[in-house]
Amino acid sequence: MTNDADDKQRQLEQYRVDMEGSRLTTDQGVRVDDTDNSLSVGERGPTLLEDFHLREKITRFDHERIPERVVHARGSGAYGFFQVYESLAEYTCADFLCDPSLRTPTFVRFSTVAGSRGSADTVRDVRGFATKFYTRQGNYDLVGNNMPVFPIQDGIKFLDFVHAVKPEPHNEIPQAQSAHDTLYDFVQMQPETMHFLMWLNSDRAIPRSFRMMQGFGVHTFRFVNAEGRGTFVKFHWKPTLGTHSLVWDEVLRIQGNDPDFNRRDLWEAIERGAYPEWELGVQLVPESDEHNFDFDLLDATKIIPEEVVPVRPIGKMTLNRNPENFFAETEQVAFCTANVVPGIDFTNDPLLQARNFSYLDTQLIRLGGPNFPQIPINRPVAPVHNDQRDGYHQHMIHQSRTSYTKNSISGGCPMSGIVSGDMSGVFKHYTERVDGNKIRKRSPSFEDHYGQATLFWNSLADWEKEHLVAALKFELGHVERRYIKEKVVEHLVHVDHGLASQVAEGLGLTAPPTGTPNHGRSSPALSQANAPRDSIATRKIAFLIDDGSDAGEVGSVRDALQSRGAICELVAPHEGTAGSLTVDRQLSASSSVLYDAVLLAAGEGLTGDGYALTFVREAFKHGKAIAVLENGRPLLDAAGLPGRQGVVEPGDGFVDRFTAAVAAHRHYDRDVAGFPA
Ligand code: HDD
């Protein structure tokens, strides 16, 4: 083992099967001459049971599916590596966090939570962000989400929450949607959901790209250093491209245009060599400060505001390789919060404790038995030796004559992990002292369900607040039972009265006159308005062209934008060529919702084309930068846009101005409420 980013790929190499030049065989390796016709008695006679090839094919097909994940069923994965900036030995003895020369291989799976495997990517939902670090001390799994808070505080409520958000049990409707009665019934009965509800209805729930979303470990975990000293830690992934979202109307249209929108985006970026990157950051809290907050560190419905405890960047992850087989790698990867390495330990967060049980348990049914850690994607690069053997699909042939520890027959092997009294590299549970009676009772320190929901609301930019109110109106607008809407509004009053009133108005309700007064505190780090907006790297720009386009001008603008990292596609009414330009996409088979920005470079021809007009209007409605070359003006005028914010006219510094408009991500200052794109 060389301990670098390629360790995992080297290990996987022995499992890869190349079909090139191969001949068709059965599963037993017997060559097959005909796989198109069953073995039968005569050409029109009955099929014979002895046709082992037919039976094998049908049997294998019948058993192709494994149970989809009960949550996070739809996901996409990629390989990469992680490298720490400087040693964190002061806080943790985790080897991969102490040696800056190490490049630890990783596999990440991004996912939605509620939908089935075949559901659309761009639904309103939490995104999973699960990372497996193949460290030389064993696998470490950081199984996080793109939101830092969870809807419930105790794992015993997980089944209830998931049943509430999943399709309703009588008719299995709606698919991958939170906008229905059972979720909001759960919410109104369980106000600990309120902080999470704010995140779920914010733009965080509709990320532009997996590459442009944050990740959070959610729980407070514990670092433990070589001396056994513990430090509380929260994990944050921050994308170098900034945190950006789609807009709701766009989301609805993407679902039809490209249900694989986020999956495709990740795949294509990696294929192009535009490797996504995240910085890993930690919030560190000395154990002596455990009780110095106005919330409980063990409560997964709370954040530690970054302004209170700053996020310290500790390293970077780069994803640089797509899987080769979706089922073998992305579907069979098995994460578990209990997969920790020396130097990282748990806290008594009751949600985390339940998770530590659930993940292993679910893999046993999903992957068919206890040997799933031997599936190539799950294999540690660290050596594995123990007496846990047998069970379905054992791949190893253990040679020792004993399968118990301690033994004298096999030289005592495998021996204790401690070599000559040296504890380094050995997992040692943190020796926390715990005292108490056995009770089923939530700590009073978990009681404030509104304070941080208010903090989140106060931290948002005006446009983010507008989106959140609109989202709640949409969601509750799909709830059939009026009393559920009323109850949710009654809870919102304790978050912010203005918020509650706006939502209530949309529902034809009146918010109760009094609630908990807004405490006025905010955390600017929570607003996406404060995300970096300085790059157009990997942004997709559609050039609307036709036969009258100026090929020279189009070519030079395209070259300039591509040199800054953008991806430009020429969209025209027909495939083939438009003048001397090669068309990438046909207009009627495309849509502005698949792009970040539009450049109008078509001649007069498109002013009467409904697809082109919709393209421009939707781009404007969705806040996207629109640039216009001289001969594109007629189309811009024909589109009848209600403003010019974020519209870049020809003239000096055209490319620079367009670049800045695209880098801004969206132009939410447009008044588009009355514009029916
Ligand atoms: Fe979970 C999958 C994230 C609470 C039980 N969870 C799963 C995945 C992610 C998360 C990203 C997908 C992993 C993959 O890509 O394969 N889950 C979270 C976060 C939570 C959380 C961030 C709270 C902080 N989960 C949670 C609780 C329980 C579970 C409280 C049960 C008590 N989660 C599961 C599971 C899943 C799962 C049933 C389904 C498939 C799987 O594990 O492998 O065990």
Q: pLDDT digits over 365-411, tens only?
A: 999 999 999 999 999 999 999 999 999 999 999 998 999 999 999 99
SS3 646: coil
Q: What DSSP element (H or E) covers 487?
A: helix 482-492
Asked whether 102 and 96 are in contact (CB, 8 A), the reply is yes
What value does the CA radius of gyration of the chain take, rounded to a whole number of Å?
28
Task: Find out if CATH 2.40.180.10 is the number for domain 75-152+207-282+310-378.
Answer: yes
351 lines ligand 1 (CB under 6 A): yes
Strands 567-572 and 540-544: parallel
Backbone angle region of 425, left / alpha / beta, with phi > 0 → left and psi within -120 to 50 → alpha: left
Residues of the chain above pLDDT 70, percent: 99
- The atom number, within ligand 1, closest to the CA of 70 reads 39
> Is 145 annotated in the active site?
yes
| Cα-to-chain-centroid distance, residue 635 | 38
Residue nearest to atom 19 of ligand 1 (CA): 144
Q: How many CB atoms lie within 10 A of CB 278?
A: 25
| In the chain, domain spans | 75-152+207-282+310-378, 540-663
Mean pLDDT of the chain: 96
Give the whole-angstrom CA distance, residue 565 versus residue 552: 20
Task: Find out if CATH 3.40.50.11540 is the number for domain 540-663.
Answer: no
Give the whole-angstrom CA distance, residue 126 versus residue 161: 13
H-state helical runs in 156-295: 158-165, 181-189, 194-200, 248-257, 261-272
| Cα-to-chain-centroid distance, residue 55 | 40
Residue nearest to atom 42 of ligand 1 (CA): 359
The whole-number average pLDDT for the span 212-224 is 98
pTM of the entire predicted model = 0.97
Give the whole-angstrom CA distance, residue 155 versus residue 219: 12
Q: How many CB atoms lie within 10 A of CB 535?
A: 16
With a CB cutoff of 8 Å and minimum separation 6, the contacts of 552 are none
Asked whether 304 and 283 are in contact (CB, 8 A), the reply is yes
109 lines ligand 1 (CB under 6 A): yes
pLDDT band at 1 (very low <50, low <70, confident <90, very high): low
pLDDT band at 3 (very low <50, low <70, confident <90, very high): low
Q: Which of 3, 139, 145, 262 is catalytic?
A: 145
Q: How many CB atoms lie within 10 A of CB 11?
A: 16
The interface pTM score, or ipTM, of the predicted complex is 0.99
Q: What is the pLDDT of residue 302?
A: 98
Probe residue for ligand 1, chosen from 126, 204, 336, 359 as the CB with the greatest number of ligand atoms within 8 Å = 359
Probe residue for ligand 1, chosen from 66, 68, 71 as the CB with the greatest number of ligand atoms within 8 Å = 71
With a CB cutoff of 8 Å and minimum separation 6, the contacts of 342 are 93, 94, 95, 137, 224, 424, 425, 426, 427, 428
336 lines ligand 1 (CB under 6 A): no
Determine the distance separating the centroid of ligand 1 and the alpha carbon of 144, expressed in angstroms: 8
